[in-house]
Structure 1
Amino acid sequence: MADELELLRRANPVPGDGPHFGDGPLDHAAERHLDRLLHDRPARPRSRTRRAWTLAASAVVAALVSALLFTGQTTAPAVAAPRPLVVQADSTPVSLKAMAERAHAATGEGSPTLRKGTHVQSWSLGMSDDEPPITLPEERIVRWRADDSHTELVVATDPQHPGRQVLTDKDGEPRLVDDGHVISDRTYPPSWSDAPPQSPPPSDAAKLHDYLEEAERAFLSDHSKPLSTSELLDATQTLLDNWTLGARESAALLRLLADAEGLRPVGQVTDRLGRRGQAYVYDEQGTRRMLILDTSTGAVLGLETTFTKPQPEYGVKAGDVMDYSAWTL
């Protein structure tokens, strides 16, 4: 029961340090926490899918498809899942230990420093039990101020198809909007939480492991064991959804990832923002997670989860992208 209560507290849309009597939707972190609680999926990769697009939303999806058909707005890129990233055939894989050394070498004078806040582009797959899956692309920018207040801007946009309409939702009602449509623009009052992931992450690998473990504590099935590879990738996403890492923090993170079991190098890819990176994959039951690192500094550029097994009951094929996040450094 303690774990369930902690999940509910962390999914609270009106936390104690938030605006009083707030009536807005859950933020991204709270959505993920609530999704895990409702679906009892502590070890599964997290989807950033909005609540309107969970498996129970088949009626809403059907309404959208009907509306698109009758209005003639059937532009495929607006509703189709993005293609998975492809590894360059002639590229040479680089080990994570070698990338960790590159990251350490990039920590000299003038290197990037830690910043609270994030800038992330995400694609998330919404599934229905009687309609084709639908992808929701959006961009989120979080900036913190000197007084510990912060702003969060969320817009509907897909840089792979600039200028085209984008699928989003409002109050559970799906709709097509213009590229760059503002979904939300909020300012939050000061928050002085000293618990991860709100507190600054350390630049020491061992201390960073403890920090990430605390950030993921509510989801861990066994607190006596080190973070598994899947849990470490989950924690990495949580970290990057709250912080833009400096060179030292990135180097510490890579030292942890270099020791992760089953995370193997596969070569170079071009990510969805057009950046070249080294890719590393980890296979789980029915899914594959791909970590993309900057080839020079080792900074994390993105995380992609794809299905490796079809789920015909939801219209999902092997190779479909479940979710993808690309962070701007």
Structure 2
Amino acid sequence: MADELELLRAADPVPADGHRFTDGPLDARAERRLEQLLKERGEGHPSPPQARWDRHPARLGERLPPAPGRIRLAWGLVATAVVAALSLTLVLSGPSTPPAVAAPRPLAIDTGSAPVPLARLAERAAAAAGAHDAVRLRKGTHVRSWSLALSEEEPPITLPEERIVRWNADDSHTELVVATDPRHSGRPVLSDEGGDPHLVADGHVLLDRTYPPSWSDAPPQSPPPRDPARLRTYLAEAQYTDAPLTTPQLLDAVATLLDHWTLGARESAALARLLADAEGLRPVGQVTDRLGRRGQAYVNDARGVRRMLIMDPATGTVLGLESTLTEPEPAFGVEEGDVMSYSAWMP
């Protein structure tokens, strides 16, 4: 026992009266001493008292709880592992089929396509609203979205999801959210469910819940009006402001509206007329959205973000909304041209 205690004392890199008591790595000499001690224990020498091992864990090389910086590093290692897994997926699947979790590139305007002014599109929407088989307003939504999760401490990750909200006659409703990327059906999808980035199977259920009956007469829960002026007020209330909406705020309010309602033809016509009167929303031509639908694109640039609204050229229905950075944000690890968010709404 005396020999083992001497070896323990010699292996301790910090003496009991040292200013760094219990804090410091083992030097080479101490490592050799500790290795000798462990070897002798394995050859039949009696073990030292357990209390001494518990009292000074750092002396024996036991890992202490990580500091905050180490936690951030561990998250980075997880993200690195995810990136490595994605790179492997790309290698195995070939260069022409990028992995499902890759960040979507900005939508490209079709070369040679003719821009359609919003005023003309509003006229088409009004004509569609007057048809006998015009689509009717329905509470609830079906949307596929890609959003970039940002943090000053972790690398950005793109989260593709599909959400379906359906309301019942008794004012109860169900919400189903799955992790899926329609561009690459069947491929793994990146999720941050539980607070950690990890790969999940395509179609993995993130939320499946039924809510009890509820009703509200406040936007966006109340039905949207069919008059452009009243719709503008409605959208401002949905954004919790009494001030006139700027065009970026208006587009954000449109996304909020479509995340709660599937518009009918008359509501779409009112929205198209409202958008036609918005400043700084210019037509740029035809695009193919991420669900393969052809639409007319209208762009607004403001404060480092470009918002692109995609609308059905025949009915004026809003198909999608994309937000792309026009300036880099080094603090968040994002560059110019990165897609911040994209939503594709479906009937």
Q: Which string of whole-angstrom CA distances, capped at 9 and with x for unpartnered residues, describes residues 125-157 of structure 1?
A: 122435542100000000000000000000000
Tell me, yes or no, if structure 1 residue 64 matches structure 2 residue 78.
yes
Secondary structure of 1:171's counterpart equals: helix
Matching residue of 1:275:
293
Tell me, yes or no, if structure 1 residue 112 matches structure 2 residue 135.
yes
Measure, in 2, the Cα distance between the counterparts of 1:173 and 1:262.
39
Compared CA separation, residues 113 and 120, structure 1 to 2 (3 A): same
Compared CA separation, residues 72 and 316, structure 1 to 2 (3 A): closer
- Kept in 1: contact 2:100–2:183 (CA 8 A): no
Q: Residue 70 of structure 1: CA displacement? A: 7.5
| Counterpart among 276, 284, 288 of residue 302 in structure 2 | 284
Structure (1 or 2) with the greater helix fraction = 2
Compared CA separation, residues 315 and 79, structure 1 to 2 (3 A): farther
- Kept in 2: contact 1:68–1:74 (CA 8 A): no
Matching residue of 1:190:
213
Matching residue of 1:314:
332
Matches within 5 A, 1:155-170: 155-170=178-193
Q: Which string of whole-angstrom CA distances, capped at 9 and with x for unpartnered residues, describes residues 78-113 of structure 1?
A: 442111100001000000000000000101211110
Compared CA separation, residues 287 and 70, structure 1 to 2 (3 A): closer
Tell me, yes or no, if structure 1 residue 138 matches structure 2 residue 161.
yes
| Counterpart among 163, 177, 200 of residue 200 in structure 2 | 177
Tell me, yes or no, if structure 1 residue 87 matches structure 2 residue 101.
no
User: How many residues end up aligned between the 2 structures?
Assistant: 268
- Kept in 2: contact 1:58–1:129 (CA 8 A): no
Compared CA separation, residues 101 and 59, structure 1 to 2 (3 A): farther
Q: Residue 75 of structure 1: CA displacement? A: 3.3
Matches within 5 A, 1:242-257: 242-257=260-275
Matching residue of 1:214:
237
Bigger Rg over Cα = 2
Measure, in 2, the Cα distance between the counterparts of 1:61 and 1:184.
24
- Kept in 1: contact 2:79–2:197 (CA 8 A): no
**Residue 238 of structure 1 aligns to which amino acid in structure 2?**
T
Compared CA separation, residues 260 and 69, structure 1 to 2 (3 A): closer
**Residue 86 of structure 1 aligns to which amino acid in structure 2?**
A
Q: Identity of aligned pairs, percent?
A: 66
Measure, in 2, the Cα distance between the counterparts of 1:80 and 1:61.
19
Secondary structure of 1:290's counterpart equals: strand
> Which shifted more, 73-82 or 249-258?
73-82
**Residue 68 of structure 1 aligns to which amino acid in structure 2?**
V
Matching residue of 2:89:
75
| Counterpart among 192, 214, 232 of residue 250 in structure 2 | 232
Q: Residue 192 of structure 1: CA displacement? A: 1.4
| Counterpart among 148, 154, 174 of residue 151 in structure 1 | 174
Instruction: Provide structure 2 residue ranges, at least 5 long, that are not aligned to the other structure.
Output: 1-70, 91-98
Measure, in 2, the Cα distance between the counterparts of 1:207 and 1:178.
44
Q: Which string of whole-angstrom CA distances, capped at 9 and with x for unpartnered residues, describes residues 183-209 of structure 1?
A: 110000001111111111111111111
Measure, in 2, the Cα distance between the counterparts of 1:60 and 1:265.
46
Cα RMSD after superposing both structures:
1.9
Secondary structure of 2:192's counterpart equals: strand
- Kept in 2: contact 1:148–1:191 (CA 8 A): yes
**Residue 336 of structure 2 aligns to which amino acid in structure 1?**
A
Q: Residue 237 of structure 1: CA displacement? A: 0.6
Q: Which string of whole-angstrom CA distances, capped at 9 and with x for unpartnered residues, describes residues 254-281 of structure 1?
A: 1110010000000000000000000000
Q: Which string of whole-angstrom CA distances, capped at 9 and with x for unpartnered residues, describes residues 233-291 of structure 1?
A: 11101100000000000000011100100000000000000000000000011110000
**Residue 76 of structure 2 aligns to which amino acid in structure 1?**
A
TM-score norm. by structure 1 comes to 0.77
- Kept in 2: contact 1:60–1:173 (CA 8 A): no
Measure, in 1, the Cα distance between the counterparts of 2:127 and 2:163.
30
Q: Residue 302 of structure 1: CA displacement? A: 0.3
- Kept in 2: contact 1:61–1:128 (CA 8 A): no
Secondary structure of 2:110's counterpart equals: coil
